[in-house]
Amino acid sequence: MKLLRNEKLRNYLTMRLGGSASFVAEINQKSEIADVMNFAREHQLKTFVLGEGSNTLANDDGFEGIILHMKIKGFKLINEDYESVTIQFGAGNILDEIVAESCRHNLSGIEAMSMIPGTIGAAPVQNVGAYGQDISQTFVELEAYDTIENCFVTLDKNDCEFSYRMSIFRGKAWRRYIICSVTLRLRKGNPRPPFYKPVEEVLRERGLTQYTPQMIRDAVMDIRKWKLPDPNLIPNSGSFFKNAMIDQNKLEELRSSYPHLKAFYMGNGKYKISTGWLIEQAGLKGVLMHGMQVYDRNALVLTNISAYSYESLAQAREEIMKKVEDIFGITIVQEVLEIE
């Protein structure tokens, strides 16, 4: 196990902000998790698990504790039958590499999640997804270290309590479990329409009527390349806010002024609407504030143009949230996690 001291967190996060961590432990096998947790308990240090840092922020004070930098790679075939394959992936595998490999083998179920940054181990935390797919749809189980019971446990889909961009790992079990592997069941053969509307439009433009996972991946990648900035070129954390959830009364109120507003029924009387649309309608798309800019191609993305501190980001975030609240009466919620 590699243990580094006083590491600058901005070097581990795609937003390129944040102070230093007391320690960063590189985790390459699951036995090292128990070693780090024993060290943390012995020295009374807090812990935080980090993958690729694409959906995580750190404040200017940094983190007085140990960052577990998850690097567990590899995969294991668990089961294969006529319809599907079940594969266990080490938590440190890059999600998009898994998507790419599944498409090459004509396996469907995660192709619409192409180019989502981060690791597979981080995917269940907020049930990542895009263009009509999310990780819960192919999820079988995960293995994790339980920091309360100090042992490894297996959690199935019901245990994880998945919902829109949410799970127990971001709710009642926040920081309890350290995910070391994720098992998915992928279906053999081609994806089944209907697809998310932007994807359907690209497929139609290309004259395609039969679809392979690779065709869906290609379409999604073309959309994302246009809508989302490359964090290697422009520091960002992807979608900064969650899409808004509103009830029917609020939806009817909004549609009285915006009759063409798109909404998706999510169950339990709740509708999902685009937070990017709210921010754009508030006149903030492309606006630069405190060194942070609302991306001019996608108002859901906040980019770091010249900010050197988390405080600058926090000021921009609060101004965006306040303006949306003042205009629409809707409180938007940050999607990006914070090291604390």
In the chain, which residues fall in CATH 3.90.78.10? 236-338
- In tens, the pLDDT along 60-82 reads 999 999 999 999 999 999 999 99
Query: Is 31 designated active site?
Result: no
Secondary structure letter of residue 119 according to DSSP: B
Q: Residue 289 burial by CB count (10 A; 0-12/13-18/19+): exposed, middle or buried?
A: middle
Give the CA count within 13 Å in the CB-facing half-sphere of 257: 8
220 with 131: CB under 8 angstroms? yes
| Best CA proximity match to 291, nearest among 302, 305, 303, 301 | 305
Residues counted in the chain: 340
Is 175 an annotated catalytic residue? Answer: no
What pLDDT, in 10s, does the model give residues 264-311?
999 999 999 999 999 999 999 999 999 999 999 999 999 999 999 999
Nearest to 209 by CA among 223, 193, 196: 193
Per CATH, which fold does 236-338 belong to? 3.90.78
pLDDT at residue 111 greater than cutoff 90: yes
pLDDT tens per residue across span 88-100: 999 999 999 999 9
Q: Which of 165, 185, 217, 317 is catalytic?
A: 165
Q: Under CATH, to which class is 2-70 assigned?
A: alpha beta
The pLDDT assigned to 196 comes to: 83
Each residue's pLDDT tens digit, 114-139: 999 999 999 999 999 999 899 999 99
Taking CA 263 as the corner, what is the angle to CA 296 and CA 195, rounded to the nearest 5 degrees? 80
Select which of 20, 237, 239, 312 is catalytic: 239
Contacts of 149 (CB under 8 A, 6+ apart): none
pLDDT computed for residue 95 by the predictor: 98
Q: Which of 32, 52, 143, 335 is catalytic?
A: 335
Write down the number of H helices and E strands in the chain. Answer: 8, 21
Q: Is 165 a catalytic residue?
A: yes
What is the C-alpha to C-alpha distance for residues 137 and 116, in angstroms, rounded to an integer? 16
CATH architecture of 75-227: 2-Layer Sandwich (3.30)
Pick left, alpha or beta for residue 226 (phi over 0 → left; psi -120 to 50 → alpha; otherwise beta): alpha
* pTM score of the predicted model: 0.92
Amino acid at 243: N
CB atoms inside a 10 Å sphere around CB 206:
12
**What are 25-74's pLDDT values in tens digits?**
999 999 999 999 999 999 999 999 999 999 999 999 999 999 999 999 99
Residue type, 308: Y
**Span(s) in the chain for CATH 3.30.43.10:** 2-70
Residues 6+ away with beta carbon under 8 Å from 189? 106, 108
CA 308 to chain centroid, in Å, comes to 24
What's the chain's average pLDDT? 96
How sure is the predictor about 210, in pLDDT bands with cuts at 50, 70 and 90? confident
Determine the pLDDT at residue 194: 75
